[in-house]
Structure 1
């Protein structure tokens, strides 16, 4: 080997392959740890400094949006080579990454968001194609900078833009160059969702019926929107491949907000049919959770599980926007996240099988002046002022923050276990967390549709993580380890939702938080699952209708259960009422709601609502299996009671945590390279604990400091 080759700083070159939920580089399973650096927000003479900081922190990849609004100059020409500004020289930035030993992940839009004006679309597109603006409820124009993905003018202009970008990327892609992936658009469907503005200018939607009143219309609209997004993204996929891009393509799945992940499955519901099971595609999460605490650690864990459960057998999980930094996004000192928070989120996410993490935003910068900017109060490319990326680990002036030091330290730690984390899988208990995608078709509600508003309120309260998020927290903080189970794919394998993939076999015990709404096919599948020897822990309400409003009590009827009403907290002219439950699980426990039941004599009553004396939690047999229905919002803090419920199914955590306090979260990882237990303390106090796996001690009694962690081989 020549001296030049020995000192070549470039990353390992080779074919990028997605295989068996792993990312292989030249046949070697590899973790891609990336940082988002916006070249267009830095002076060209700052590029090398920021990239060197990223490399020195242990990152191997740089990601960046490539904004159409920046590279299109006022006369409509496209400049990607720096002839009008040095900061538009995209080839130079990618080549500089390569020379410093860094791969490149391209995010060219056409939408890019990132606080840019028009979400990164040039003003010209809106001027020249005013009919591309979506029309929502009752003919109202979208209040966001959304565009109709199917509009022929927008599509043609977007293809012109992407053609120019791909001329830069194609000759620089792996196996011979640094470009290892290309993202297809960005957060598709997000603008319509957050503004409650479906694209009703589409003729197919207008023909579907009356949008104002019926649940059936809203269900059809949600399904149509899924198909619309899938059609658009598959068009981009085909266009990108036709232009010679052979590296993996990525789709960004949005949905977290307000420090929580309870709405993240909406993005999965919107976009999964566009990518699931498709060769060379992978989905990346968008995680903004703030400080990781007992409030939201289950959100992160279960979002990772749901993201993975809709993938095909070769598709690895990844994260395209993985929050890192101080959390002070408004530069207003209204939020601060500890450096340990990013460390914990990284460790848990990698332990659950993510193979690519892109830290967003790694470095701040300054928004350049936008030539031809309108009279909108700010002459720059973005609406955040001149400085941007206030919360990044490297601030706009290039100064590292404590978050940067913590990131560098954990990456060094991760690299020492990379063979395990790049190939391993989480060891799980015999439990599957039930995911029902149509429970998250809640983006659109007609302003006058009262019955739809009631349905969405019910769905948002009881779905997924459960009422008061108790089900999710009981699983994660109770020490259980689960994969998610795509119940719709199992119940209806020929549907458009499954996109031709085959769902894995379900574990014996399934847990599901359900509202009143649950499809007939899923209800029937769950009843058959129990009849054939499975177990079901159902929380929330007894399902009594399908998503289109059709009455449906298949699941309840199978067990002889029926609703006798719901008691809720109230204070009205008749006085206050505070629902309380009592029984074999607990005595006189206050809850905010209780589903009252009429049950057969042979059903085992676990809890009764005190005021009515009626059951609200029961265990019932069917065939060879068993159902436990908990119809009250039983609090997560009563972990002994949740353990008792799971023990009725013979399920106990394989990871034993004997701790003096709650707050220690573990992920056990197994691989052919060895086993690793990740343990993080998300509590604000020290925890004394000993840990075992499958009865073998891994960690004798020790103290985990507040927000501390440990990586333990076993």
Structure 2
């Protein structure tokens, strides 16, 4: 039995880490399957994932080949069984959409030809520019159900609860992404009729007539009114359409799950993956969360998996990954853990041009942050490349191949299309084997948080559809994008992480806001904020909450209607806005407790007239207040209404004044260190550290002001990451602390990766620690200190052998 419980994946009632690699069986010769599985196992993975492309298995309507009759590499059952013979679990990803650079996103050509009505049109009735379809079109559902019925006959007998190795089933892939990226909502006649029925249940007849000045029941008026909205109701339509699409996607996912369960696929999680990262950043990733969270929170048994494409994890974007994981967790059901279904793992050479080359640390760093934040499943994508064979019958589209990447596919993968290992493989394998050594510990650990959370408002990211001709829609989207991400993420979140804060996120739109769980809130705020959310923040503040607001104090609700609930509670009047130009060098001066600080340049400032608040920031030439601290009932708020730079000390002081103190600190003046900690119910812990820079750093670590690791100096190598154990027990051996990283655990020994010039492992045990030429033993009962004799660069492991006393 496989369960999602207490933010863990339990397989046979045991918390497990699923470390998977994506291997496309259909892109490999059957005789190459074993070679790729060997390389995957050697890298430390315990699972294989693969898309199951409808395009390949049913090139001709009604002729589904899942057993290799037409091509040996299409024997899906044979591949799953080979994985099982190799001791590997399997994650099935049968679509209907699979993307994976396949033509038609993995749908058969014939389905578009047979059912042209499923192809959407968008704004102004223009044809969709992508190969998407109307998910809930009756004819598409009929064809997709037949496809699912066929695939499930292969998957159902191979489920892990029944003795097989299939541990999860992904439902479709990147739902809604194509329409979002093209700003082309699916507005077929079927969707418009369904949308109209949904609107009636939401608003009621009278409210609906006031909201939309056309007959929602008349097909022609509805078509024109929705596809080409008038400015008077455009903001309302943008919001309604976004909420409706969430509901539509959730119904689609529930339908797919029903088909799978009806075919006997039960007792395993159903996965919904979330799109949105790109260009090395995650600023738009929460749009995917916003679109899909009702899909995977509508019932138990779902698991959300991210698509993470960040390239190198650096000083520029590390906070993006941390926030993406936190925002996913903010909307999860209580039992759901973070997971990633497409975890970028290669060298970045996606176009086969050598125009993008990632550092070997790229996947290592991203995996370490995800695991530190409680991820239980990572699927390395794409682990092994392959070949795009030619379709039969040919579509006569230039090359007739299954995908648009040419004959070879997966140029960037750690295992290339020919099966050769590239430079990204060794470090990925080293990381995975290290994680495997302590997987039982990590699988039950949670990140420890300070008394602060980051605020998440899903509707701030509901910007995937906006009518290009609408100035109102465009302005709302522009302001939300400006305030929800770049400023708050690159300034406030980065300052918090570099200042040592460990934090999660809270969905302040849909979840209660309690002082017990969220005493302090950091919030990126826009000019627009829903009235109910403003009231919720005011009630929480009045009860004693501490709010650090960065961006703009809202003036409007989400549809552009005036709403000053939060501003009035803060005792402020929004007096204006200042914008820099090529002739106006907008600058800010610190005031109050924020002073003295040098003046700083900025591009934007919201100005306030306040009566009882303490001014913190002012516009230099006018003296207008653009940052302040004020009391709200029993609580306090600090508002930074300007694009203020990443001043770590300022944000730390602000949070401390609100009641949130970072427990972890270091004394490295160069910053560039990410740190957090995880713990389990037994009190065992890891300190997770990353050096984001290309030079070594030396520092001491403190927790609540007390030195960690015996006060010893830590040296973190350039672009290196470590998980250092605290109070960790392996049988009769307890590791009080270690400056080296555990890489293997066996009954008679523990192996470590040295990380320092002189590593120290503090051990408590009744067993005898064997003498070695690699270390010396120093005794201070009850602790034995194992002190390395070789510096880390000259020695790749410390093997701590132990045996029963007198053994």
TM band (smaller chain) = over 0.9
Q: Is structure 2 residue 31 aligned with structure 1 residue 45?
A: yes
Alignment of 1:402-413 (within 5 A): 402-413=423-434
Query: For the residues of structure 2 that align with 1:266 and 1:540, how far apart are their CA atoms?
Result: 19
**Structure 2 counterpart of 1:711:** 723
Alignment of 1:483-522 (within 5 A): 483-490=504-511, 506-522=517-533
Q: Is structure 2 residue 126 aligned with structure 1 residue 140?
A: yes
Q: Is structure 2 residue 229 aligned with structure 1 residue 229?
A: no
**Structure 1 counterpart of 2:588:** 580
Q: How far did 1:158 drift? A: 0.6
Query: For the residues of structure 1 that align with 2:567 and 2:551, how far apart are their CA atoms?
Result: 13
Which of 614, 625, 628 is matched with 1:604 structurally? Answer: 614
Query: For the residues of structure 2 that align with 1:224 and 1:387, how far apart are their CA atoms?
Result: 40
Secondary structure of the structure 1 residue equivalent to 2:616: strand
Query: For the residues of structure 2 that align with 1:581 and 1:521, how far apart are their CA atoms?
Result: 34
Q: Is structure 2 residue 226 aligned with structure 1 residue 216?
A: no
Moved more, 581-590 or 429-438: 581-590
User: Conserved in 1, the CA contact under 8 Å of 2:664 and 2:703?
Assistant: yes
Secondary structure of the structure 1 residue equivalent to 2:412: coil
User: Conserved in 2, the CA contact under 8 Å of 1:582 and 1:610?
Assistant: no
**Structure 2 counterpart of 1:648:** 657
Q: How far did 1:587 drift? A: 2.9
- RMSD of the alignment, in Å? 1.5
Moved more, 146-155 or 196-205: 196-205
Residue deviations 1:36-84 (CA, integer Å, cap 9, x gap): 0000111000000001110111100000000000001335410000111
Q: How far did 1:681 drift? A: 0.8
Secondary structure of the structure 2 residue equivalent to 1:17: strand
Query: For the residues of structure 2 that align with 1:80 and 1:315, how far apart are their CA atoms?
Result: 32
Secondary structure of the structure 2 residue equivalent to 1:182: strand
Q: How far did 1:552 drift? A: 0.7
Consecutive unaligned residues in structure 1, runs of 5 or more: 1-14, 493-502
Alignment of 1:442-591 (within 5 A): 442-464=463-485, 466-467=487-488, 469-490=490-511, 506-571=517-582, 575-584=583-592, 585=594, 586-591=597-602
User: Conserved in 2, the CA contact under 8 Å of 1:698 and 1:712?
Assistant: no
Q: How far did 1:464 drift? A: 4.4
The structure having more radius of gyration, on CA atoms, is 2
| Number of matched pairs | 685
Q: How far did 1:276 drift? A: 1.2
Residue deviations 1:115-154 (CA, integer Å, cap 9, x gap): 0000000000100110101110000110000000011111
User: Conserved in 2, the CA contact under 8 Å of 1:64 and 1:105?
Assistant: yes
Query: For the residues of structure 2 that align with 1:559 and 1:363, how far apart are their CA atoms?
Result: 55
User: Conserved in 2, the CA contact under 8 Å of 1:468 and 1:633?
Assistant: no
**Structure 2 counterpart of 1:34:** 20
Secondary structure of the structure 2 residue equivalent to 1:490: coil
**Structure 2 counterpart of 1:415:** 436
**Structure 1 counterpart of 2:281:** 260
Residue deviations 1:22-49 (CA, integer Å, cap 9, x gap): 0111111110100000001110000000
**Structure 2 counterpart of 1:498:** none
Residue deviations 1:623-644 (CA, integer Å, cap 9, x gap): 11101000111111x2111112
Q: How far did 1:235 drift? A: 1.1
User: Conserved in 1, the CA contact under 8 Å of 2:391 and 2:400?
Assistant: yes
Moved more, 367-376 or 198-207: 198-207
Query: For the residues of structure 2 that align with 1:232 and 1:340, how far apart are their CA atoms?
Result: 38
Alignment of 1:118-137 (within 5 A): 118-137=104-123
Consecutive unaligned residues in structure 2, runs of 5 or more: 197-215, 217-221, 727-807
Query: For the residues of structure 1 that align with 2:708 and 2:297, how far apart are their CA atoms?
Result: 37
Secondary structure of the structure 1 residue equivalent to 2:700: strand
Residue deviations 1:503-547 (CA, integer Å, cap 9, x gap): 996410001001101101111111111100110000101101111
Q: How far did 1:577 drift? A: 3.6
Moved more, 173-182 or 330-339: 330-339
Query: For the residues of structure 2 that align with 1:459 and 1:45, how far apart are their CA atoms?
Result: 52
Distance 1:90 1:650, change over 3 A: same
Secondary structure of the structure 2 residue equivalent to 1:409: helix
Query: For the residues of structure 2 that align with 1:306 and 1:410, how far apart are their CA atoms?
Result: 25
Alignment of 1:22-101 (within 5 A): 22-74=8-60, 76-101=62-87
Which of 254, 259, 274 is matched with 1:239 structurally? Answer: 259
Secondary structure of the structure 2 residue equivalent to 1:383: coil
Distance 1:468 1:34, change over 3 A: closer
**Structure 1 counterpart of 2:184:** 197
User: Conserved in 1, the CA contact under 8 Å of 2:59 and 2:108?
Assistant: no
Q: How far did 1:467 drift? A: 4.8
Q: Is structure 2 residue 639 aligned with structure 1 residue 629?
A: yes
Distance 1:468 1:433, change over 3 A: closer
User: Conserved in 2, the CA contact under 8 Å of 1:256 and 1:288?
Assistant: yes
Distance 1:691 1:78, change over 3 A: same
Moved more, 90-99 or 69-78: 69-78
TM-score after normalising by structure 1:
0.94
Q: How far did 1:619 drift? A: 0.3
**Structure 1 counterpart of 2:153:** 167
Q: How far did 1:277 drift? A: 5.6
User: Conserved in 1, the CA contact under 8 Å of 2:496 and 2:652?
Assistant: no
Q: How far did 1:204 drift? A: 4.1
Distance 1:217 1:505, change over 3 A: farther
